Copies of this chain bind each other. A is one copy, B any other.
């Protein structure tokens, strides 16, 4: 566990946002000014493979990372691309239903809701009023 890796993991663990590699890079440089972007990517991949973090890619062209490796659901804003946690319990019965379809083995599932985040929803309300 190098200093760089620890800083990257700390940054991810201490935010509820779901940042991109570039945002993490910016934050990491505040602690280790000469850390390189390659190191950020390298450690994000190592951490993902170790199951310490999640990589999310919902539509947008770059990956987002999540410091919470427990399965949970997300809401993606179609307007501003914000990703937010959806605090509802994991629905284990979904996997049972899917297994009944005989599509092979299932280790885990992911569920995303697409729409407008509260901020963009309000913005749109004002426009159409």
- A104 touches which one: B94, B110, B117 (CB < 8 A)? B117
Binding-face segment, A19-27, A30-38, A80-88: A80-88
B118 and A114: CB pair below 8 A?
no
Contact string, A94-129, partner B, CB cutoff 8 A, digits 1/0? 110110111111111111111111101100000000
Which B residues are in CB contact (< 8 Å) with A100? 88
Cα separation A121 to B110 with both chains bound (whole Å)? 20
Q: Is A73 part of the binding interface, using a Cβ–Cβ cutoff of 8 Å?
A: yes
**Residue contact A109 to B107, C-beta cutoff 8 Å:** no
Q: Is the CB of B86 within 8 A of A101?
A: yes
- CA of A98 to CA of B87, assembled, Å: 8
* Shortest Cβ gap from A124 to chain B (Å): 9
**CB distance A84 to B103 under 8 Å?**
yes
A104 touches B88 (CB 8 A): no
Report chain B residues within 8 Å CB of A113. 94-95, 98, 103, 106, 108-109
Flag if A78 contacts B94 (CB, 8 Å). Answer: no
**Between-chain CB contacts (< 8 Å), 14 pairs:** A57-B57, A73-B98, A84-B103, A86-B98, A88-B97, A88-B98, A103-B118, A104-B117, A106-B113, A108-B114, A109-B111, A109-B114, A110-B111, A111-B111
